[in-house]
Amino acid sequence: MLPELGHFALILALLLAGLQAFFGIVGPMAGRDRWTAAVTPAVAGQFVMIGTAVGCLIYSFVSNDFSVLYVAENSNSALPLFYRVTALWGAHEGSLLLWIFLLSCWTVAVSIGVTRLPQRFGARVLGVLGIVSFGFLLFTLATSNPFSRLDPPAPDGRDLNPILQDPALAIHPPILYTGYVGFAVAFAFACAAMLEGRLDQHWARWTRPWTTAAWAFLSCGIALGSWWAYYELGWGGYWFWDPVENASFMPWLVGTALIHSLAVTDKRGLFKSWTLLLAILAFSLSLLGTFLVRSGVLVSVHSFAADPTRGIFILCFLVVMIGGALSLYAWRAPLLKSQAGFDLSARESFLLFNNILLVVAAATVFAGTLAPLIATTLGLGTLSVGAPYFNPTFMLSMLPLCALLGIGIHANWKRGRLGEKSRVLLTTLVIAIALACLISFAIYSHGKILTPVGATLGVWIILTSLVDPIDRVRRKLSLSRSVVGMTVAHIGLGLFVLALTTVESFTTEHDVSLAKGAATAVGPYEFRFEGVKSIEGPNYEGVTGTVRVSRNGTPLTVLYPEKRKYDVQRQVTTEAAIEMHYGSNLLVAMGEDLGAGKWSIRIQVRPLVNLVWLAAFIMAVGGGISLTDRRYRLTRSAAEEGAATVGSTTVTGERAG
């Protein structure tokens, strides 16, 4: 009964989304205030319905109802309760439902936030979000119903994909999707402004906190995914330039550009049409990512079961949403004029470079991701694009970006006045180079050509970010939350560059075959293999190896890498043993049983790799801090001083839940 109730709730949600879209778009156009007022109740109703559907599906999982096809395919009675709940998003249908649920959470938050904005504008924003939600609900109901029954019921389920049975991956999709979906809000604000035909600086201020929140979630989501790939896929890599990874990384790059260009539009009223385009692009890339992952046009380790009808549906949806928004853009953007000019050395110039470089970076990733597809289309055969393409092209735009960041944050708006800052900048540069040399040549004795460059840039970003806040604190001046947030995020970036440089320069890796009792040396470490014994888990069996590690002759630790075979899916997973010592991650993973007690074993020593993910979280925290800035929660009266028709946002603390 409950699955049918969930199905029915989804159908009602579809109708409500249609109403929300219709009243939100047509109401303000026709000037009917009562229609406009109907939007918020539709949002609330839709949230309740989608929540009900999610609840029903979770219940089916928890109660092991294998008469539901999706449950039978992705769960098992031996699966621990926690994973039975998270199995909800273990495959295509359920993760689509999660996508829709998070969108409705964002929409509810927006509907609360926009009560302080002009009513018609708010209705338009919600109307656009209604269209997005309608499209995805229709997609789910038409091609991917998670409530389909299985007749007769399966005696037991096929179990959740073993590589998804992991705590980090259990929480990775909700956080990543919250970020993805969050860009829908910036997109809706942009479309609403274009529908209204006016876009002033207030628009940028209203959009900023939503964009930053979405961006922070996306940063965390990507970092979690990378962390999971590192320890669960078992072979010690943390970024593979896989189409699915790229699909989440492209919106992140464009979203980062959007955050910066929104700052310019907010503070100076410039870059208006460009900001609009970025807002459309960021969400379009999220949608495109959804398309790539679920249509089967690209082959990836993470992709869902391929289904061309789904692909066609999403493609039509892309044409409606992105095509519609871009047409609106072609029509409205020429009307936008930016009056003010700025110096070449002004902050605006630097942010313009920032935007260009980030978009170029996104474009190179885009080109690399779609190249195999384009090659097939043109009949050039199959093509695979990997790190040898992505690493250098990506660095080509990222290195200048990092270099300019340090100068740009010291430039003033309108007129740069960098001359006054040149001494500070020069001093920080000298210190950065000195520290970088110390890292490259004293701590780690060897390196590559780019090692000193990367290290210098990392240290330089951190130092230059700190100069201004330290100066203000010394002079006992106040620091706004948005400046603190920016500083923290930039320090995060600096640490990230530093960590990445170290990891890429100084990682050592050995694939060896070891018999019981044999040892191999990696740098100062010695790894001694002491054989395997069999183990048994709740829904798997396997072997665990014992590897004794010593450093410069003194015993350090014992590692127990595992190889598991899951009973139902008969899939083998590699559980690498990872421990951090002296800032480096020691990783031991079991390969194949070579017979006669010999095993192939991968040993890897990666310095500072944990800092890569930590730095990404620091960036996200920076975004979170800037969200709490007073500017975004001005009282109504304060905002009305500035512009008669304009209210203000109260977005602090609202998150998609």
- Binds another protein (CB under 8 A): choice among 1, 31, 81, 330: 330
- The CB density around residue 476, as the number of other CB atoms within 10 Å, is 6
Site for another protein contains 291 (CB under 8 A): yes
Q: Residue 176 or 297: which CB sits closer to another protein?
A: 297
**Which helix H or strand E contains 501, and what residues bound it?**
helix 481-506
Find the binder of another protein among 88, 322, 495, 618 (CB under 8 A).
322
Give yes or no for residue 334 binding another protein (CB under 8 A): yes
Please tell me the distance from the alpha carbon of residue 388 to that of residue 504, in angstroms, as a whole number: 14
Q: Which helix (H) or strand (E) holds 403?
A: helix 387-408
| Dihedral class, residue 307 (left if φ above 0, else alpha if ψ from -120 to 50, else beta) | beta
Please tell me the distance from the alpha carbon of residue 488 to that of residue 619, in angstroms, as a whole number: 7
Q: Does the protein bind another protein through residue 273 (CB under 8 A)?
A: yes
Q: Does 308 bind another protein (CB under 8 A)?
A: yes
The residue (of 13 and 71) whose beta carbon lies closer to another protein is: 71
Residue recorded with tokens 């998150």: 655
User: Does 473 engage in binding with another protein (CB under 8 A)?
Assistant: no
> What are the backbone angles phi and psi of residue 38, rounded to the nearest 5°?
-80, -10
Give the separation between CA 69 and CA 93, rounded to whole angstroms.
11
Structural tokens at position 546: 């014992």
The first and second tokens of residue 52, run together, are 């009900």
By beta-carbon proximity to another protein, the closer residue of 322 and 587 is 322
Binding of residue 154 to another protein (CB under 8 A): yes
156 near another protein (CB under 8 A): yes
532: which strand partners? Answer: 545
17 strand-pairing partners:
none
Nearer to another protein, 151 or 536 (CB): 151
Contact between 150 and another protein per CB under 8 A: yes
Q: For another protein, which residue of 11, 30, 312, 396 counts as binding (CB under 8 A)?
A: 312
Q: Residue 323 or residue 524: which is nearer to another protein going by CB?
A: 323
Q: Which is nearer to another protein, 158 or 528 (by Cβ)? A: 158
Site for another protein in 35-74 (CB under 8 A): 69, 72-73
Member of 40, 275, 295, 428 binding another protein (CB under 8 A): 295
Stretch that binds another protein, among 42-50, 129-137, 178-186, 279-287 (CB under 8 A): 279-287
Q: Which is nearer to another protein, 377 or 554 (by Cβ)?
A: 377
In angstroms, the CA 537 to CA 531 distance is: 20
Measured from the CB atom, the residue of 325 and 559 that comes closer to another protein is 325
Rank residues 91 and 97 by Cβ distance to another protein and give the closer one.
Answer: 91
Q: CA of 378: how far to CAs of 35, 292, 311, 371, 638, in Å? A: 49, 19, 20, 10, 58
The residue (of 308 and 517) whose beta carbon lies closer to another protein is 308
Q: Are 90 and 74 in contact (CB under 8 A)?
A: yes
Close Cβ partners of 542 (under 8 Å, ≥ 6 residues apart): 534, 535, 536, 562, 563, 564, 565
Residue 329 touches another protein, criterion: CB under 8 A: yes
Neighbours of 279 (CB within 10 A): 30
346: left (phi over 0), alpha (psi -120 to 50) or beta: beta
User: Is 384 a binder of another protein (CB under 8 A)?
Assistant: no
The torsion defined by the Cα of 178, 181, 183 and 189, in degrees rounded to 10, comes to: -120
Contact with another protein (CB under 8 A): which of 201, 376, 546, 550? 376
* 333, 395, 512, 556: which one binds another protein (CB under 8 A): 333
In the complex, minimum distance from the CB of residue 132 to another protein, in angstroms, rounded to a whole number: 17
Question: Counting contacts by CB under 8 A, is residue 381 touching another protein?
Answer: no
> How many residues at the interface with another protein, by CB under 8 A?
46
Give CA–CA dist 8/569, Å, rounded: 32
CA distance 115 to 648: 9
Output 333 or 556, the one with its CB closest to another protein: 333
Residue 258 as a binder of another protein (CB under 8 A): the answer is: no
Binding marks (x or -) toward another protein, 560..579, rule CB under 8 A?
--------xxxx--------
Applying CB under 8 A, which part among 177-185, 297-305, 405-413, 428-436 lies near another protein?
Answer: 297-305
Alpha carbon distance 199, 271 (integer Å): 11
Name the nearest CA neighbour of 119 among 33, 14, 198, 21.
33
The binder of another protein chosen from 29, 58, 318, 614 (CB under 8 A): 318
Give the residue, chosen from 25, 250, 297, 656, that forms a contact with another protein under the rule CB under 8 A. Answer: 297
Contact segment (CB under 8 A) with another protein among 153-161, 260-268, 414-422, 610-618 equals 153-161
Q: Residues 516-555: x/- map of binding to another protein (CB under 8 A)?
A: ----------------------------------------
Asked if residue 591 lies in contact with residue 511, where contact means CB atoms within 8 angstroms, the answer is: yes
Interface stretch with another protein, choices 121-129, 299-307, 412-420, 574-582 (CB under 8 A): 299-307
The answer to whether 296 contacts another protein (rule: CB under 8 A) is: yes
Q: By CB under 8 A, name the one of 319, 380, 396, 470 that touches another protein.
A: 319
Residue 527 C-alpha from the chain's centroid = 36
Tell me the pairing of strands 584-595 and 562-566: unpaired
Angle at 452 between CA 451 and CA 454, to 5 degrees: 65
Q: Which of 495, 490, 434 is nearest to 464 (CA)?
A: 490
Distances (CA, A) of 478 to 49, 466, 482, 483, 633: 46, 15, 12, 10, 18
Smaller CB separation from another protein, 318 or 543: 318
Binding site for another protein (CB under 8 A): 69, 72-73, 150-152, 154-156, 158, 273, 277, 280-281, 284, 291, 295-299, 305-306, 308, 311-312, 315, 318-319, 322-323, 326-327, 329-330, 333-334, 370, 373-374, 376-377, 568-571
